[in-house]
Structure 1
Amino acid sequence: MMSLLGLLFFLISMALSLLLFVLWIWMLIDCVKYEPSTGNDKIIWVLVIVLLNGIGALLYYFIRRPERIKQMGQ
């Protein structure tokens, strides 16, 4: 029973890690591709995403991305 529970925990944690990695790549590409090059916003957000990994990608997704879409339509 204990090894089954350990295997289940391992599989769930691997799936969550993979999803977070995909989100990180998606947000990094989104930032580089669609963030305007005027000012330092693009550089700052790329650094936030790269240095804070999953948390940085989540911050970009929930804070900056909706604002950019509202302003620029992308």
Structure 2
Amino acid sequence: MGIEVSGLFGLIVLVLDVLAIYKTVQSPAATGTKVLWIVVILLLPLLGVILWFVAGPKGK
């Protein structure tokens, strides 16, 4: 029932997810905010990374 992500598109989504998680951990945001964003990115890989790019914690 879910959206299956595979092939090159899946690899791109994986790289973007890892990048978003890395940038979230490096951000100056509060720990609770970081944990919430990481959970969203992990549970909703495609939508989570899109939301992160739009509204996620900003870098230094």
Corresponding residue pairs, total:
55
| Equivalent position to 2:27, from 34, 46, 51 | 34
Structure 1: 5+ residue stretches without partners: 1-12
Structure 2: 5+ residue stretches without partners: 1-5
The runs of at least 4 aligned residues of structure 1 exceeding 6 Å deviation read: none
TM-score by length of 2: 0.71
| Equivalent position to 1:59, from 51, 57, 60 | 51
> Which of these two proteins has the greater Rg computed from alpha carbons?
1
Structure (1/2) with the larger helix percentage: 1
Structure scoring higher RCO (CA < 8 A, sep ≥ 6) equals 2
